[in-house]
Amino acid sequence: MPPATWLPRDPRLLQIAFLSTFLMLGVGWLGFDVPPWQPPLIALTACATQWAMTRWMRTPPAGYLSPIITSLGLSLLLRTDAFWVGPFAAAVAISSKFLLRARGKHLFNPTNLGLVVAMLLTQHAWCSPSQWGHGAAQWGWFAAFGLAVAHRSFRSDVSLAFLGAWVLLKAARVFYLGAPWTSLQHQLSAGGLILFTFFMISDPKTTPDHRAGRVLFAVAVAGLAFFLLHGLWWQNALVWSLALLSPFTPLIDRLLPANRFQWPSGGASPRTDACASPSSQPA
C-alpha cells in the first residue's frame, strides 16, 4: 500500500496535527511566553465566530477545521500582553472569510490578516520570529512535514517557489555584502520562516488557482518582503508582504483562470486538479 494512502484525505487534519506539535514544542521546550489559557480562548473565539457568521450570512456549514487551524496559527505567532488581543485577532480572522471576498473566494489568509490587524490597531500585539531559535536540523524535519502537508493540499508549488526565491535573494545579499555563508544558514533555519512557507502562504483557499499564477504570487511575496526587510527595515516583513499582495489574487485569477480548489469531503481519493466550481462556502 503506498504511504500516501495512510494519510487522511483532508490535509487540514495533517495541518492540525503538525501545528499542535509545533505549539507543544514551543510551549514545552522553547519556552514560548504563551499563557496556558490563551490557545483554548483563541480557539473558542474562532469557532464561535465561525458558528455566528455561518448563521448570520446563511452560508452552508463548513465545519470547524479551518477555525482550529487559524487559532493554532495565531497561538504560535501572535504575542500580546493583553488577554483580549488574541480573541480579537481570532474574531477578525474568521470574520474576514465571510466579509472580504471576491468571486466566491476570501481574499486574505485568516491568520495573516488577524496578525496584521492586531498589530495595526493595538499597541499590545507583536510577532517574534526569533522565539523559534535557529536549529537547522530540527527545522529541517519540520520543513519536511510541512512540505508533506502542502503537497497534500496541492500547494507545494507555491511553497517551493516562495522558498526558492527567498533563498536566492538572501544568498545574493550575502554575496553582495561579502558576509560569511554561515549567516545565510542562520537566517534560513528560523522556525518562523518554515511556518510561513508551509502553513501560511500555501493556503489553498487564498492562493491563485492557476499554477503559473501561484508561482508568480510566491515570487512577488518574496521580493516585496525582501524590500520591506532590507530596504525599509520593517519587522515581520513576510507577514506584511503577504497581506499587501493578497488583494491581487483575484486579478491573477482573472488573467490566469483555472479550476477552484475545494477541500475533499468523503468518497473517492482527491483528484490532482482538485477542481470544482467557485463555491460560496467561506472555508
pLDDT tens per residue across span 177-203: 998 988 888 788 777 788 888 888 888
Q: Give me the number of domains the chain comprises.
A: 2
Three-state DSSP state, 80 = strand
Assess whether 39 and 67 both reside in one domain: yes
Q: Are 177 and 247 in the same domain?
A: yes
AA identity, residue 263: W
3 located within any domain: no
- pLDDT reading at 229 higher than 90: yes
The answer to the question of residue 5 being in a domain is no
- Is 261 contained in some domain? no
Q: Are residues 104 and 168 in the same domain?
A: no
- Whether 1 is covered by a domain: the verdict is no
Q: What is the mean pLDDT of the chain?
A: 84
Mean pLDDT in residue range 70-91:
94
Same domain, 101 and 15: yes
Query: Is residue 262, in this structure, part of any structural domain at all?
Result: no
17, 98: one domain? yes
Residue type, 127: C
The strand ranges marked E within 174-236 are none
Q: What does each C-alpha distance from 179 to 71, 160, 183, 225, 245 come to in angstroms?
A: 38, 25, 7, 20, 30
The answer to the question of residue 266 being in a domain is: no
Name residues whose C-beta falls within 8 Å of residue 211's C-beta, 6 or more positions apart in sequence.
157, 258
Average pLDDT (90-118) is 94
On whether the CB atoms of residues 280 and 59 are closer than 8 A, the answer is yes
Question: What range defines the domain where residue 219 resides?
Answer: 134-255
**CB–CB of 118/126 below 8 Å?**
no
Stronger pLDDT, 85 or 279, i.e. the higher one: 85
Reply yes or no on whether the pLDDT at 15 is more than 80.
yes
pLDDT at 23: 86
Is pLDDT above 60 for 271? no
Look at phi and psi of residue 43 and say left if phi exceeds 0, alpha if psi is from -120 to 50, else beta: alpha
State mean pLDDT over 259-275.
54
Residue 275 has pLDDT above 50, yes or no: no
Same domain, 171 and 228: yes
Nearest to 146 by CA among 188, 185, 197, 106: 197
